[in-house]
Amino acid sequence: MSEEKPMGLIKQAVIQIGAGGSAGFVEVCAMHPMDIIKTRLQLQVKTAEVNPLYYTGIRDCMKKMYHNEGLGAFWKGILPPIIAETPKRALKFFTFEQYKQLFTSRSDLPIPVILALAGFCAGITEGLVVNPFEVVKVHLQSNRSQIKLCPSTLAVTRKIVQESGLGLTGLNRGLSATALRNGIFNCCYFGFYHSAKGYIPVGLGFTAGTLASCMNIPFDVAKSRIQGPQNKVTYKGTFKTLRIVYQQEGFAALYKGLVPKILRLGPGGAIMLIVYEYMHSFLTEKLKS
């Protein structure tokens, strides 16, 4: 009986990138409406003035968006995630596997700690790559015009670059907030999922996504505020933004958009892992030689 040869690095990369990319594409298409609702709730600041366009919750946001902007509004800003999320998810899973091997080979840390560290590093790497797409997405999602009047993704990107450049005040605005948001999410997500899947496999993707969402939501709020087109308050720096939000709006404001985030990333985490594991098995079988 012949032993199977270990798969080469290139084939491993193809499998991880192909499976991760497929998982990201399916998750984005299915869950984008919850992402735009989350962003809308995170961007708004309640004032003493009566504002008929203020969203009081998810249902109210959906109702007003549909009435004022049309059904297509729920997919505003989907092009940047479609462009970015497939390579983003591929990068997430690929770098996670590489960081996991690195930490495993160079330390005697417990497995859950190794998984959490690998997830955190993968999230930081992911955040650095996708941040420009996040900036464009938030600008598109914050636009409350009817869908036919909204500027294109290219037009928004060009405007940001022309007005503010490519740096930390332009297309890479909110870089540290994005990196920390993704790092904390992946630290919790991968650390919990891989540590617990042998004990509570049923619904674990949903549980991991929900737990990670609860842990990183303040940084998500900071990211949205920094990257959004705010007029009255200047948000600069992740921790300064967190302090401004807390001082002006209270502790609960740091958790704005948590419910739609969970409704997106809880089921989204489950969808992503199911697709990833299916495609990983499929590609592994196809690339065996």
Q: What is the 3-state secondary structure (H, E, C) of the chain?
A: CCCCCCCCHHHHHHHHHHHHHHHHHHHHHHHHHHHHHHHHHHHCCCCCCCCCCCCCCHHHHHHHHHHHHCHHHHHCCCHHHHHHHHHHHHHHHHHHHHHHHHHHHHCCCCHHHHHHHHHHHHHHHHHHHHHHHHHHHHHHHHCCCCHHHCCCHHHHHHHHHHHHCCCCCCCCCCHHHHHHHHHHHHHHHHHHHHHHCCCCCCCHHHHHHHHHHHHHHHHHHHHHHHHCCCCCCCCCCHHHHHHHHHHHHCHHHHHCCHHHHHHHHHHHHHHHHHHHHHHHHHHHHHCCC
235-284 tens-digit pLDDT: 889 999 999 999 999 999 999 999 999 888 777 777 877 888 899 899 98
More confident site: 170 or 9 = 170
Asked whether 233 and 199 are in contact (CB, 8 A), the reply is: no
Average pLDDT of the segment spanning 168-193: 92
Average pLDDT of the segment spanning 40-56: 85
Q: Write down the pLDDT at residue 141.
A: 94
Q: Cα 226–228–232 angle (5° rounding)?
A: 80
- Label residue 186 by pLDDT band (50, 70, 90): very high
Question: Is 5's pLDDT higher than 60?
Answer: no
Question: Is 35's pLDDT higher than 60?
Answer: yes
d(CA 222, CA 237): 9
- Label residue 211 by pLDDT band (50, 70, 90): confident
Which amino acid appears at position 210 of this protein? Answer: T
pTM beyond 0.75, yes or no: yes
Whole-number percent of the chain with pLDDT over 90: 53
* The residue to which tokens 């309640």 are assigned: 46
Asked whether 135 and 174 are in contact (CB, 8 A), the reply is: yes
Q: Write down the pLDDT at residue 18.
A: 84
More confident site: 185 or 2 = 185
Average pLDDT of the segment spanning 15-34: 84
Using alpha carbons, list the distances in angstroms from residue 77 to 29, 147, 201, 260: 12, 11, 34, 16
64-123 tens-digit pLDDT: 999 999 999 999 999 998 888 767 777 888 899 899 999 998 778 888 899 999 999 999
Average pLDDT of the segment spanning 198-216: 78
- Label residue 26 by pLDDT band (50, 70, 90): confident
